[in-house]
A = this chain, B = another copy of it.
Amino acid sequence: MTLESDVGDAETENTEKGDALIVFTPSGKRGRFPVGTPVLSAARSLGVDVDSVCGGRGICGRCQVTVSEGSFAKHGIESRRDHLSPQGRNEQRYDEKRGLKPDRRLSCSALLQNDVVIDVPSDSQVHKQVVRKRAEARDIEIDPSIRLCYVEVEEPDMHNPSSDLERVYRALSEQWQIDVSRADPHVVIGLQKVLRQGDWQMTVVVHQARDGEPSEIISIWPGFKDVAYGLAVDVGSTTIAAHLCDLHTGEVMASAGLMNPQIRFGEDLMSRVSYVMMNPGGEQEMTQVIRESLSTLAGEVAGEAGIDVDDILSAVLVGNPVMHHLFLGIDPTELGGAPFALATGLAIDIPARDLDIKINRGARVYILPCIAGHVGADAAGVALSESPHLNDELTLIVDVGTNAELILGNKNELLAASSPTGPAFEGAQISSGQRAAPGAIERVRIDPETLEPRFRVIGSELWSDDPGFEDAVADIGVTGICGSGIIEALAELFLAGVITHDGVVDGSLAARSPRMIADGRTFSYVLHDGSPLVTVTQNDVRAIQLAKAALYAGAKLLMDRMRITTVDRITLAGAFGSHIDVKYAMVLGLIPDCDIEKVQSAGNAAGTGARIALLNRAARREIEEVVRKIEKVETAVEPAFQEHFVDAMAFPHKRDPYVKLSKVVTLPERKSGDDSPDTPDDGSRRRRRRRNAAG
């Protein structure tokens, strides 16, 4: 084989050599091969990325290509000539069984006859790209840690007493050029039966955590198999969300969420840590229930997608440090007080069975590294999804949960911190607050003249002043106000002058509106005069002030440390970030000033990070390196944090020039559900489930 730099020249040598020229698009790789060479062999020899599970036996159909004769015609080659061998028995059989489009050929079966240009469509490439919806989000190259390999294994022979396993290793080496020297115990135990059931043909699942590490057989099936799935899981304090992904296409096949069953041990993280402190060994109960939930979720998504849980061969988990520790069975007590020492913050690669997760016995679970005692693997997932380390722009990433995790930086430097916002943004500590669930007020507008409100609740698309609203919410009711709702309510009340810059609910307005009611020495605003009564109290304003001051002070602290006064981009991650309107967030001063066009919601970025690490094993090493490089800033020991915090209590006097008040009150309606917390931001074939996370 010789590589040719010019097709025209090469053409003249064709008949002399008995070789034919083959050019692959889109790679442009080309070479001469003897007539009769399978196209797939030529592709492999040239390093052209063509997929195959069956190893060139015409079974899997992954290696399909098309002939682009046209591109050759330009160089004077007669386009009617047969460039490839006619369909053979394998291809016909595949066509009958599974269907082959008229212009497609199986590259393993089509033999080179004459000079030809072959196009490798993207679905036939191993390392396909999954393109994400958001323009600024990185694409995902599919290269999971597992690989399916169909092998034909030599039968045992009295004259050659090698073991079955050794012959499987040899088959992998000879037929796939993969050197394997390890196999899971259950694979060894089941091997002889599977080999004989499949008549010495089997599909092997090879796991390689990273380049250079030993490859290992983690599962086997008799005969041919070409489907493999993975789970990306975000273990939140409130919700566990799981996405089932096809490891071949990268598609999200099904998503589901469950309430974290640990809630019965304590509503928030600290109360769960306290539970363990009060009940030594209590972490084991919490470990058990969370693992059971994940198994339940795995069963749910598998059922929804119509696959067997046994076909789930890989999983990636993210979660905050307490969830991370509890999932692993580690007592989280040390995370409950200074110095907040993690038992381990390193990435973990562990068999699913060691975590009692009911998926394939050999499946491997990867858990992203934690950044610090308050900034967990969920934040690492966000960092992987948003990839500030790949960009020039200085990006501030804000992930608001019970506390806020902050990442600031670009490819030169990264800082991270956790701000003690408390759970106010999740609707806790708010008089009429509730979790984001049907019936919760999530959108609020207040007329600055009349001080009359209108609102929308989760579960209905109608505003409260739309005709038919009462009927629409008859079943769900108006039950309270969720995190995004309280932000809008406060911002609208501030813009209408009901709340002052200092956060005082102005009781003097009671003269103008019956919605202002006295509440001891302070005043409240009645948002919904029903049962229950939904009000915004002076205490609610204080709670949000404390939370937003903590968030802002954390961001400022990181900016100080980086010696910058503005950021180029702000990304709001997580459920809260998906549901608040960024403009209201700026009105209240939750986040630093920034070009509002550059403030975006990233949806469940932690879950997306898990999905990236599931589909691309190189991303695992990447995020491990990023986490090692991130400088952690501990807000609790920084005097500057307290100063920023005090300064940030008030609502902004000077508005950022980009935030036009007129814009704020004529906001385009956000379509809810686009970035629902349990759906990654770019999944296709998605099937959304419940919506029960904070927001």
| Residues of chain A having any CB pair with chain B under 8 Å | 156-159, 161-166, 181, 183, 185, 188-189, 191-193, 328-331, 333-334, 338-346, 350, 354, 370, 372-373, 632, 634, 636-637
Contacts and interface: CB of A to CB of B under 8 A. Distances in A.
A221 to B, nearest CB: 17
B339 A156 contact: yes
A189 B328 contact: yes
A194 to B, nearest CB: 11
A162 B165 CA distance: 42
A157 B162 CA distance: 55
A345 B163 contact: yes
Contacts of A189: 328-331, 343
A162 B345 contact: yes
Contact of A161 (B157, B331, B372): B372
User: 7 shortest A-B CB distances, which residue pairs?
Assistant: A156-B341, A163-B342, A161-B372, A163-B345, A165-B344, A156-B339, A158-B339
Contact of A339 (B157, B341, B373): B157
Contacts of A342: 161, 163-165
B330 A161 contact: no
Given A158-B340, A163-B345, 13 more contacts: A161-B340, A161-B634, A163-B344, A163-B346, A164-B334, A165-B342, A181-B346, A185-B328, A185-B350, A188-B344, A189-B330, A189-B343, A191-B344
Contacts of A345: 161-163, 165-166
A585 to B, nearest CB: 28
Nearest to A156: B341
A164 B343 contact: yes
Contacts of A158: 338-340, 634, 636-637
Contacts of A164: 334, 341-344
Given A156-B339, A156-B341, A328-B185, A334 B161 contact: no
12 contacts: A156-B341, A157-B339, A158-B637, A161-B342, A161-B372, A161-B634, A164-B344, A165-B344, A185-B329, A185-B354, A188-B344, A192-B333
B188 A330 contact: yes
Contact of A341 (B192, B343, B634, B636): B192
Contacts of A156: 339-341
Contacts of A333: 192
Contacts of A346: 163, 165-166, 181
A158 B374 CA distance: 11
Nearest to A373: B161
A339 B188 contact: no
Nearest to A185: B354
Given A344-B188, A636-B158, A163 B370 contact: yes
A350 B372 CA distance: 33
A346 B341 CA distance: 42
Candidate in A162, A344, A345, A370 with the most chain B CB atoms within 10 angstroms: A344
A177 to B, nearest CB: 20
Nearest to A634: B158
Contacts of A161: 339-342, 345, 372-373, 632, 634
Contact of A343 (B191, B331, B339, B343): B191
A148 to B, nearest CB: 22
A339 B236 CA distance: 54
Contacts of A344: 163-166, 183, 188, 191
Contacts of A162: 345
A271 B30 CA distance: 62
A189 B373 CA distance: 16
Contacts of A340: 156, 158, 161
B165 A343 contact: yes
A188 B341 contact: no
Candidate in A183, A334, A637 with the most chain B CB atoms within 10 angstroms: A334
A341 B191 CA distance: 11
Contacts of A636: 158
A370 B191 CA distance: 17
A354 B330 CA distance: 21
Nearest to A416: B161
Nearest to A332: B192
A74 B460 CA distance: 102
B192 A334 contact: yes
Given A328-B185, A329-B189, A330-B192, A159 B637 contact: yes
B185 A343 contact: no
A434 to B, nearest CB: 34
Contacts of A163: 341-346, 370
Candidate in A156, A161, A339, A340 with the most chain B CB atoms within 10 angstroms: A161
Nearest to A196: B334
Contacts of A165: 342-346
Nearest to A335: B192
A2 to B, nearest CB: 39
Nearest to A374: B161
Nearest to A372: B161
Contacts of A637: 158-159
A452 to B, nearest CB: 50
A219 B334 CA distance: 21
Nearest to A342: B163
A575 to B, nearest CB: 26
A341 B166 CA distance: 11
A372 to B, nearest CB: 4
Contacts of A191: 343-344
A524 to B, nearest CB: 40
A189 B281 CA distance: 12
Given A158-B338, A159-B637, A339-B158, A328 B192 contact: no
B157 A192 contact: no
Contacts of A350: 185
Candidate in A181, A333, A338, A346 with the most chain B CB atoms within 10 angstroms: A346
A403 to B, nearest CB: 15
Contacts of A185: 328-329, 350, 354
